[in-house]
Structure 1
Amino acid sequence: MDTEDLRLAVYTSFALTGRAPEFSVLAERFGAGEARSGLRALHEGRHLVLGPGDEVVMAHPFSSVPLGFAVMGAWTLWWGGCAWDSFAMPHLLPGDPEVLVSTRCPGCGAPHAWSVGRDAPPSGNQVAHFLVPVSRMWDDVVRTCGNQRLFCGEACVDEWLARTGNDRGYVMDVSTLWRLARGWYAGRLDRGYRRREPTQAAEYLREAGLRGRFWGLPEE
C-alpha cells in the first residue's frame, strides 16, 4: 500500500481539528486491513506513533494525549506533544501564524504562556530541559516528549531533577528552542514529505545553536 494518502489523512485531521482521525473513518476510506497495515508501516517509518489497539497517539508535532502543553490557534486547540512540538506549530500551520502556548513549570508548578509566531522568538527568561538524548529519543517516544518541558529557570530544573532522580539532560533558552522548532517539520503537511537524512538533521541542529553529544554532534 502507498501510505502517503493515509499519512496525509492523519496529519490533515490533526491540523484542522486538533484530533487524530477515528479508525472507522480511515477504514471506510482505505479499507480496514489496508488502514491498519498502513498505520503500522507509518509507525515503523517514524511518521507517527501508535498506542494500544493501533490508536494514533502522536503525529509530530501533533498529539492526541496531553503531555504538558496546550496550543491555541485562532479556531483550534491542540495538545502540544512537548516544548519542541508546541513551538513548531505556527511554522507548520498555514492558517495560524501565531499560537498561544501554555504549560506549567514541572519544578514549581508556576503557569507560563507565550505567543509564538514565525518571525522572531517570544520573550522570556524560561529554559527548556530535554531529558532524553537524541540517540534514544525513539526508544519510548511518549516518554521522550513528555520530558521535553519548559521551566521557570535553572533552579526549577535542578529541583525537579533532584525530586525525580533523573540525570541532567540538555538545557536551552527560549530563543534556541524557537530556532530548533521553526523549520524542523517543514513540509510535513505536504504530499511527498521525506524525513531528513542524518547528515541533514545534524546540520539543522547545529544551525539552531545546539552542541554536543546529547544531540549526536561533535564537542566544540
Structure 2
Amino acid sequence: MKYFVEHAKAPSIDELSVLFELNKDCIIKALKLLQAEHGVVLHPISNEIWVMHPFSAAPTNFWIKSGDMGWWGNCAWCALGAAALLDRDLTITTTLGSESKQVVIEITNGKIANKHLYVHFPIPMKKAWDNVIYTCSTMLMFESESDIDAWCERHNMHKGDVQPIEQVWAFSKAWYGRHLSPDWVKWTVQEATEIFERFGLTHSIWKLPVEKGRF
C-alpha cells in the first residue's frame, strides 16, 4: 500500500521479489493468500496486482490528482477512501453515473467543496466480493436522487442505498484511514458491520451475514 501511495502504481511481482528478497513463486503464493483475505485482487492470468483497495492499477472512472501525481480509485467510496489515505489537498475527477457529465470534486484541508453530490450503492455488501470489480464499477456519483432513479430505469439497475457525499467522506476516512499503519489488518465481517452501523448505514444493502472471515 505504501508503494502504491508513493509511486502511484502497484508494485509488480518482479519489484516485490526484489523488495522482499524472495523468488517470484513465493511472491505469487503470498499474493494469492492476500487475495483470499480480500487484501488484493490479482489479474487472473498474470497474477499481477489489479486492485488494492482503495487504489486500482487499471484505468477507472475516478482519477485522483494531487500536484504532479495521480491515482485511480475503484469507485466513489474508494476514491474518497484514497483521498483520506493520501491526506493531502487533491481533486477527484469523475463522470456522473459513468455517463457524459464530468465533475471535479475538490478536497482542501480535509473538507469537500462539492457538497451537493450523492453516492449510489446498488450492490448488496453480502454479494460485493462475488465480483468486486463489477461491484466497484457501480458505486457512482450523482447530483440528485431523482437522477439516480432515472439512471436505474435507464440501465435496468436495481436501486440501492443513496448517501450524501459528506456522509460517505466521513465513513471513508474511518474505513480507509489506517490502511498505511503497520499493524492494520483487513476488517473482519463483524468489524465491518460495526463500522456500517456507526455511520448510520442501515439500509438492507449494508447487511452482512453473521460469519467469520474478513470483508
CA contact (8 A) 1:176 1:209 kept: no
Alignment of 1:112-131 (within 5 A): 112-117=103-108, 119-131=110-122
CA contact (8 A) 1:108 1:156 kept: no
Instruction: Go from structure 1 to structure 2 and tell me whether the alpha carbon gap of 1:182 and 1:197 turns closer, same or farther (over 3 Å shift).
Output: same
| Amino acid of the structure 2 residue aligned with 1:136 | K
Match of 1:152 in 2: 143
| Amino acid of the structure 1 residue aligned with 2:175 | W
CA contact (8 A) 2:121 2:205 kept: no
Give the SS at the match of 2:97.
Answer: coil
Asked whether 1:101 is paired with 2:92, we answer yes
Give the SS at the match of 1:162.
Answer: helix
CA contact (8 A) 2:93 2:102 kept: yes
Match of 1:6 in 2: none
Asked whether 1:65 is paired with 2:58, we answer yes
Asked whether 1:132 is paired with 2:132, we answer no
| Amino acid of the structure 2 residue aligned with 1:192 | D
Tell me the C-alpha RMSD between the 2 structures.
Answer: 1.8
Aligned-pair CA distance for 1:74: 2.6
The runs of 5 or more residues in structure 1 that have no matched partner are 1-10
**CA deviations over 1:16-45 (Å, ceiling 9, x no partner):** 111111222223332111101011000001
CA contact (8 A) 1:118 1:182 kept: no
| Amino acid of the structure 1 residue aligned with 2:26 | E
Asked whether 1:111 is paired with 2:102, we answer yes
**CA deviations over 1:67-120 (Å, ceiling 9, x no partner):** 210001234100011101111123212xx4222011011275211111125644
Give the SS at the match of 2:4.
Answer: helix
Aligned-pair CA distance for 1:121: 4.2
Asked whether 1:78 is paired with 2:68, we answer no
TM-score when normalising by structure 2: 0.87
Which structure 1 residue ranges, 4+ long, deviate > 6 Å from structure 2? Answer: none
Choose which of 47, 50, 55 in structure 2 pairs with 1:54.
47
Instruction: Go from structure 1 to structure 2 and tell me whether the alpha carbon gap of 1:117 and 1:181 turns closer, same or farther (over 3 Å shift).
Output: farther
Asked whether 1:12 is paired with 2:2, we answer yes
- For 1:84 and 1:203, the matched residues in 2 are separated by 17
Give the SS at the match of 1:54.
Answer: coil
Match of 1:37 in 2: 29
The runs of 5 or more residues in structure 2 that have no matched partner are 209-215
Give the SS at the match of 1:187.
Answer: coil
Aligned-pair CA distance for 1:131: 1.6
Aligned-pair identity (%):
25
**CA deviations over 1:128-183 (Å, ceiling 9, x no partner):** 11121110111111001111110122232122212211111111111111122111
Moved more, 114-123 or 128-137: 114-123
Pairs aligned (count) = 205
